Amino acid sequence: MNRILLASAFLLAAISAASADELPSAAQTSAATTPATAPKIKLVEPHLHIARSNIAGHARIALTFDACMGQADERILSTLVRERIPATIFVTARWLKHNPAALAVFLENPDLFELENHGQNHIPAVDTPTLIYGIASAGSPQAVKQEVEGGAAAMVASGIPAPHWFRGSTAKYDLSAIGEIRAMGYRIAGYSVNGDGGSLLGAAITEKRIASAKDGDVVISHINQPTHAAGEGVAKALVDLKAKGTEFVRLDDVDDMGDDKTTE
């Protein structure tokens, strides 16, 4: 009974928060290291914008997709390839291990896809023990370093160029972890438009959110949930944006401005 109540409470919290990054299922959240009472620490969810085109009818937008765990969403991947829409993809070591076919498509299209680091095991990059949406944080500077370096090592071992952008699980950080990750040579990828609410939103609202992105926006959504309705909305929004004359760029193509000392 308690377990059911806990799971329901978690689900409600997850949906109402409409987290930018995907959350694991309730069953996966009770790690052995989870503290009984989480201390209050200051977390930030940084914004990121790109240099605008400042040309009417020619909005410049950076699409970013997280591949947290699970599978590849062919609805989105095939649309990106067919429409020749560039994007930045954040992959975890976990996701890479299970999706060699999708990785091959990314690597076959280097003009479209910039691949960046989403960590080793999709653990929030926060260097103090705490819970974020019920997920245990890395909990120490060493564990943050392992999450970042483990993600990068798996990428390089898979034939991907060494990454230099990092986005942590849940897209939340404490300021000291931001400093540590920056000191490792990374810029940290926030966002300005939460496209799919951690892939939990419906197709119509997802399409509307992404298609309404403005000049200079960085959109976050997910490419790893082929059974969720959100992905259908993402794929439609890509076509909508292209029809409006959008210029799609990767994070490395333009100047980027992040707050909380994430890029400067």
Taking the complex as a whole, how short is the minimal distance between the CB of residue 68 and Zn ion, in angstroms? 3
Q: Which is nearer to Zn ion, 60 or 113 (CB)?
A: 113
Taking the complex as a whole, how short is the minimal distance between the CB of residue 164 and Zn ion, in angstroms? 18
Task: Please identify, among the stretches 58-66, 74-82, 187-195, 238-246, the one whose residues bind Zn ion according to the rule CB under 5 A.
Answer: 58-66
73 lines the binding site for Zn ion (CB under 5 A): no
Task: Please identify, among the stretches 71-79, 139-147, 153-161, 169-177, the one whose residues bind Zn ion according to the rule CB under 5 A.
Answer: 169-177
Q: 9-28: which residues touch Zn ion (CB under 5 A)? A: 21-22
Token pair, residue 112, equals 């479209």
147 lines the binding site for Zn ion (CB under 5 A): no
Q: Which is nearer to Zn ion, 117 or 169 (CB)?
A: 169
227: Cα separation from own chain's centroid: 18
Pick the binder of Zn ion from 59, 66, 72, 220 (CB under 5 A). 66
Q: Which is nearer to Zn ion, 59 or 138 (CB)?
A: 138
68 lines the binding site for Zn ion (CB under 5 A): yes
Taking the complex as a whole, how short is the minimal distance between the CB of residue 66 and Zn ion, in angstroms? 4
SS3 for the chain, per residue?
A: CHHHHHHHHHHHHHHHHCCCCCCCCHHHCCCCCCCCCCCCCCEECCEEEECCCCCCCCCEEEEEEEECCCCCCHHHHHHHHHCCCCEEEEECHHHHHHCHHHHHHHHHCCCCEEEEECCCCCCCCCCCCCEECCEECCCCHHHHHHHHHHHHHHHHHCCCCCCCEECCHHHCEEHHHHHHHHHCCCEECCECEECCCCCCCCHHHHHHHHHCCCCCCEEEEECCCCCCCHHHHHHHHHHHHHHCCCEEECHHHCCEEECCCCCC
Q: Which is nearer to Zn ion, 118 or 236 (CB)?
A: 118
Q: Which is nearer to Zn ion, 151 or 258 (CB)?
A: 151
Task: Please identify, among the stretches 72-80, 108-116, 167-175, 198-206, the one whose residues bind Zn ion according to the rule CB under 5 A.
Answer: 167-175
Q: Which is nearer to Zn ion, 66 or 256 (CB)?
A: 66
Task: Please identify, among the stretches 138-146, 164-172, 232-240, 251-259, the one whose residues bind Zn ion according to the rule CB under 5 A.
Answer: 164-172
Taking the complex as a whole, how short is the minimal distance between the CB of residue 5 and Zn ion, in angstroms? 26
Give the C-alpha separation, 70 to 168, whole Å: 17
Is residue 224 within 8 Å of 70, Cβ to Cβ? Answer: yes
Q: Which residues bind Zn ion (CB under 5 A)?
A: 21-22, 66, 68, 169
